Structures are given as structure tokens and as C-alpha cells.
Structure 1
Amino acid sequence: MDTDRFDRRKFVKGVGAAGLVGLAGCTGGPESGGSDDEETEASTPAADGEDTEASETEASGSDTTNIGMVYATGGLGDGSFNDQAQTGIQQAEEDFDLSYDESEPDSVSQFSTYQNQYAQSTDPDYDLVSCIGFLQADALSETAPDYPDQNFMIVDSVVDEDNVGSYTFKEHEGSYLVGQLAGLLTSESFSAGESSTDSDSTNVGFVGGVESSLIAKFEAGFTAGVKAANDDIDVQTTYTGSFSDPSAGQEAALSMYSSGADIVYHAAGNTGTGVFQAARDEGRFAIGVDRDQSVTTDYADVILASMVKRVDTAVYNAAEATVDGNFEGGAVTSLGLAEEGVAAVLGDELGSEIPSEIVDAVETARQEIIDGEISVPDSPE
């Protein structure tokens, strides 16, 4: 599979990408954000007469589509959620006559400001404002009605307005697969690189960012997968309250490892970087999220797998629809295993070390979920 380029138009139509859906050793998409050597400089939309710094490809002609990106707190360089969204808009810029600007809010309170600045801008006039992350929903619910002629899209939440396209994911389905993987591996003695499990271990861990119904889907699916592998294994759960605090992630994971956990899965944005560091410190394993973090971070030596979430596809789809003039406000699109919107992807360095019978068991579960034979809970019991 080509890890340098991925045609999302084919992905959306269900052509190819078969390796991504199951367990594979590649992301199926281009690397960007925190994994690139070249940094992408964020810009702020024009407001009160200020200049707007355009994306690398300058707008050429009045027909160019302009898109504003408002990222989640935690910013670019997280090797995860925001970087995945940026991958989508970068691919859209490459494929279409499109220009984009991007903003990185430091706090939830800034979401409304950036959303409004893009909507108010006339030079350029933004055809779409992309709001990345469920924490933007409250602000967008107030912003969107004030600009009925402005199209918005939001990832990970539903905003019931005629000018907002909402994109959600079945994170619990992909999390079930990495949970099963963790449950099976922690039940036996397994070593890879400098890390190992203890066959006497009776627990694994989950570190969440901001406690919410969204992140609870990751927890619920992961726990269900672990229990399906071995009902005697417990799941330690901690929410740090932040998506941008690696120190908190490291502290939470260290506590779990010291309590006997072999493997910790995170759904915590850049906070998860601390989880990886803790795994390295303790000679244990971790599971990444949103992107193949064995590729997008410097922790391939401890990352068994990642629950990949195609935020890039949602961003790309919305951009393509805007360019084509058929963006559908008010629509809700949900992407799961069947739609190739989530996947369990084996680590680039450690994946080949995982016993084939475990890989096969997880692949069987993936198909059973798609076929409706396994129903995965989307909230913790």
C-alpha cells in the first residue's frame, strides 16, 4: 500500500483501501502535520481590516473556492486528530481549485471568535468554514443562525442548522477491535522491541481527554473488545480533562502501568503523547488514535496499533462538495467500519510481531461487526 499518497475520492466511493479497514501496517494516507519536516504556519482570517495570510497555494481567479479551518484545541502537530483534519484539506487543495486558511484556538472560548471572523470575511469570502471537534458545537449552534448564507461543517458532533453539514464516526466500532487486541495480548507473555506484557496481568488502561459522550464511545468500544477477549480483564479508566496536556497523560498512564496494566489506549489528542512516553519509560505498550501514530509520532517502538479515524475524509468530502456546488447543509453523515471511516491499523514497527492468530481473531471480529453479528455499545455500561 502506498503510504505517501491516498486518493480519497476512491476511498469515499468504496474502491480500494481494503488494507486500511482491516489490520495493516500502513495508514493508507499521506503523512502531514506533526510528522512532516516542514511546519505549516497557521493564519487568522481577515477581521476589522486585517490582512489574511493565504495557504501555500494562492487563490487564482474568482472561481477559487475558499475554506476556513478552525482546529480543535491542542493545535497542529498532535500527530493525531488535528493533523488528520489538515491532511484532508491539504489533499483537497492539491486536487481542486481551492485555497484555505487555518486557525488554532488555544481554548474553547476562542471557537466563536474564529467562526465569526471567517463568516464575516469578504476578502476572501469563505465558501465553507470547517469546525474540527465536538467542543465547537455550542459555539457553532450560536454562530450558524447568524450567517444563514454561510456554509459550515463540523466533525464529531451534530449541529441542527440548515447551513451546517455534520460528520460523525462510529468510534466505538474501531475501538472494539483495538480493545480485543489488547485483551488477547495482555493474556499472554508477549515481547516486542524493548517492551513486554506480563501473562499474569489482569488489567489494561484507557486514558480519555475531556470527559464527554464522544470520548465515552471510545471507552465503551475498547472495554467491550477487551471483555470479548477475556472477561477476567479489567479496564482502568482516567479522564485528564484536556486534549493538550502530555504531562497529564503521562501521569495517568504511569499510574496504570504501576497498577499492572500492560497496554494503555488513549483518546486524548496531544495528551496521548504522554501516554506513549510512559509506555516507553515502563517497558510497556500503548495504542494510538485517529491516525497511525506509529508513523506520525516518534513512539513506534511502543505503539502496537492505532484506531484510525478518517477525519481527513470528512474534511475532504465537505471540501469537494463545496467545490462542486453540492454541499448539503443540514445533512448528517456517519462513518463506521462498513463505511471505511474507522479502522484498526497495526503499528509500523511492532505490528509484524503480533501473533497471526490474534490478528486473525481481530479481523474476524471486524467482519462480524460489519455483518451485524456483533453489536458494539456506544456508551460505557
Structure 2
Amino acid sequence: MTRREKTDAARTESKTLTRRSVLASGAVLGATAVAGCLGGGGGGGGGGENGYNAAIISSPAGFDDNAFNDNALEGLEQAAEEFDLEVNSIEETQEAQYESVQADTAEAGYDLIVMVGDHHTGPLETNASEYPDQNWMLINNVIDGADNVSGWIEMNNEMSFLAGVAAGTMTQEDYSEGGGATNPDESVVGFVGGEDIPLINAFEQSYIEGAEWVNENVEVLTGYSGTFSDTAPANNLAESQIDQGADIVWHAASAAGAGVFSAAQDNERYALGVDVDQSVTEEQYQDVIIGSAVKALNEATYTVVEAVINDNFSEFVGENNLSIEQESIDFITGQALGDSLPEVLSTNIEDAKQAIVDGDVELSCGPTRC
């Protein structure tokens, strides 16, 4: 018996998925309190005579990705609205520059420096020891033995599994709301990754496992666009997968993922968002975004800067996690399509979350690599 056959009338009272305010955040990033980029001759942190300052260095995707980087920045911006805090967003898309940019930022003087993404790990292994009095926050990895680094591991494998469950569920449904339609006669879904790196490989495999968990007959087409910023390769790859029968495509390609949404819209198929509610951040595509697999990264950055301000940063040194069990990983339905989606989607997502919490699902990959 398939998972779908087990989710019939007995569980129709399962609640419809909602967009929890903390996870639906990331919609519009306010410019308030952002001091701008650290440019040539870059000045210090500022922050006022008695205030605080924080810097955030982007991943290769850069800011304005409507996903990962913006979600991290938003937590700092929220803190800036509540505390005497200035935030400096430093966009650096070249991984080769990370060691020097981290060092320059530490020299400038900040109460906290946030680094978005595992690409920063190697350089920080050097800089954490070079600048032992600097408070660092690293997203997507941990620096073992460093007593000045707060490392945050999002359970991306859990998040990806939920995306797979959503795709595997909906490709079986006869659904034609908004700007797309499924083909229930075939069970084919797609995945478009950005760079072909261990982190995104873990996204891919966990997505496949989620789709197969709920739909044993599903076929999952996968590929990599080679970029987190250029939408054209992602669009071409999604178009190819749709041509091969995929009626739902999920991306793990940061800003490049907009190319997946446009492919779905142009071909009257559907897509799934990542990291934040992309039916909000990519509102022009909301008629084809069934939902998004999300993580409360904004909560994490807010928590750490608040800890610095309250002088208890040491409580968050080492490894910290965002997970389904902590209610900081979820799948939320899109703002345009949510009310029209079949109840089986909500039921299967809730079943999958409970199965992960109960230990009934063993994922092949960890949160950052397989």
C-alpha cells in the first residue's frame, strides 16, 4: 500500500498548512539601519557611542536573492529595529575573497560578524584564531574548538525531505488552479540545484527520498545549473525537465531559482520555493508556487545578535540547530494557491514531520553533505 492510500478519509481533519509569521518572513527587507557595504577604505562599525554594530557577509549568491541571504539579513534588521544596533551588509560573491574580507571586517571592529554559508568555513578556520576576541556567527557549519564562533546547522535534509513529500504528493493529484496544471497520469517531478557541491547534493538526495517516501512510483529528474545567481541556466534546466514530463520542480539555487519559477509559469506547470515563503518574495510567480520548504534563519541571526547585546554570546558558541522538532523547519503553502490545495498535501506533510521527529525516517544525507 502506498503512503497516499494510507492518508484518506480517516485523517481529513488534519489542519491546513498555514504560513507561520516567523517562517513567512523575508517578504520585504526594510532598508532601515543598514549602513551599506564595506567599501574601499572601509570605515569601522559605527553603532553610536553606546550602541552596537553587526556585519553580515553574503554567500556567493549575494543579497537580494529573495531566499537564503535575505532571510539571514532580516533577523539582523529586526534586531536593529528593537535595539541600538547598526547593521552593515557586505556583499561578496567571490569565494576566493572570503578570508581577506572576513579579516578586513574584523579589523574594522564589529560586535558580531555573520557569515552566510558553508563557503566561509575554510577561511574562518584561520580568522577565528587570528581574531580571538571577535564574535563570529557561521551559517551552515561549525568550527570545532573555536570558543568565539556560533555555528548554526539548519537541518536542510529535513527541509528537502518535506519539499520532496510535497512534490511527490501533488504530482499524483489532478490539480489545475492558478497558472499551472499537473499531469496525474504520470508521476514526474524535477530538482534544479545551483552549484554541484556537497551541500546541494544533500538537498537533492533528501528531496528524492521525500518524493519516494510518499509516492513509490515517482520519477525525479535532477540537474545543476552551476550558479546561484544566474537565472538563465536554471530556467533552461527546468524547461528541459518540464519537457521530459515534470509537472513540479523544486530548486535549491538561491537567486537563480527565479529561473525555475519563470519556466513553470511559461509552461503552465508548478514550482516549489526554498528557504523562505517565495510566493511572497517572488510574488510575480505566486500563481505557480504551490509552497515553499522553509527555515527560520532570521530567528537564528536575531537570537545571536541579541545574545551579544545581552552579553551571553557564550551560550551559543559551538553547534546550534534549526530542525523540524524545534519548529524552525517547515513546509508552507503559497499565498495564492494555499486555499485550493488538496487536504492530502497537508496530511502527508504533517505525517512526514512526525515521522522525522519520531525517528521513523532515516535520511541518507546529513544537513550539509551526504
**Above 0.5 in TM-score?**
yes
- Give the Cα separation in 2 of the matches to 1:80 and 1:218: 15
Out of 223, 227, 245, the residue aligned to residue 230 of structure 2 is 245
The Cα offsets for residues 66-91 of structure 1, whole Å up to 9 and x where unpaired, read as 11111112222111011101110011
Change in 2 beyond 3 A, CA 1:268/1:322? same
Aligned counterpart in structure 2 of residue 188 of structure 1, from 137, 152, 173: 173
Partner-residue secondary structure (3-state), 2:22: coil
1:324 aligned to 310, 318, 333, which one? 310
Match of residue 255, structure 1, among 240, 243, 262: 240
Structure 1: segments with no counterpart, 5+ residues: 1-20
Q: Matches of 1:290 and 1:245 in 2, distance apart? A: 18
Aligned mate of 1:44, from 30, 37, 59: 37
> How many angstroms apart in 2 are the aligned matches of 1:28 and 1:313?
7
Corresponding position of 1:113: 100
Q: Measure, in 1, the Cα distance between the counterparts of 2:320 and 2:32.
A: 31
1:148 alignment partner, SS class:
coil
| CA RMSD, 1 decimal | 2.4
Task: Classify the secondary structure of the residue corresponding to 1:105.
Answer: coil
- Closer/same/farther in 2, CA of residues 225 and 330 from structure 1, 3 Å limit: same
Structure 2 CA distance for aligned equivalents of residues 92 and 37 of structure 1: 12
Which residues of 2 match residues 59-208 of structure 1 at below 5 A? 59-62=47-50, 64-121=51-108, 125-160=109-144, 161-208=146-193
* CA positional deviation for 1:304: 0.5
Residue deviations 1:76-128 (CA, integer Å, cap 9, x gap): 2111011101110011112222222110013112222321111111xxx3111
In 2, the alpha carbon distance for the partners of 1:322 and 1:108 equals: 27
Alignment partners' CA distance in 1, 2:233 and 2:102: 29
Indicate how the Cα distance of structure 1 residues 162 and 220 shifts in structure 2: closer, same or farther if over 3 A, else same: same
Answer whether contact 2:142 2:318 (CA < 8 A) is retained. no
Aligned residues: 351
Given that 1:369 and 1:376 are in contact with CA atoms closer than 8 Å, whether structure 2 keeps it comes out as no
What is the distance in 2 between the residues matched to 1:25 and 1:108?
34
Q: Secondary structure at the match of 1:191?
A: coil
Q: Deviations over 1:329-368 (max 9, x none)?
A: 7410111100122110111111211111231122122122
In structure 2, relative to structure 1, the CA distance for the partners of 1:335 and 1:28 (3 Å cut) is closer
CA contact (8 A) 2:63 2:69 kept: yes
1:222-371 pair list within 5 angstroms:
222-297=207-282, 298-328=284-314, 330-371=317-358
TM-score by length of 1: 0.86
Range with greater deviation from structure 2 (189-198 or 358-367): 358-367
Tell me if the contact between 1:148 and 1:163 (Cα under 8 Å) persists in the aligned partners.
yes
Aligned to 2:4: none
Letter in structure 1 aligned against 2:132: P
Identity across matched positions, percent: 34
1:78 is paired with a residue of what secondary structure? coil
Q: Specify the alignment match of 1:373 in structure 2.
A: 360
Q: Do 2:23 and 2:296's aligned partners in 1 also have CA atoms closer than 8 Å?
A: no
* Alignment correspondent of 1:28: 22
Structure 2: gaps of 5 or more residues: 1-14
Cα distance change on mapping 1:31 and 1:340 into 2, 3 Å = closer
Matched-pair contact (CA < 8 Å) for 1:26–1:346: no
Provide the rounded CA distance (Å) in 2 between the counterparts of 1:221 and 1:42: 38
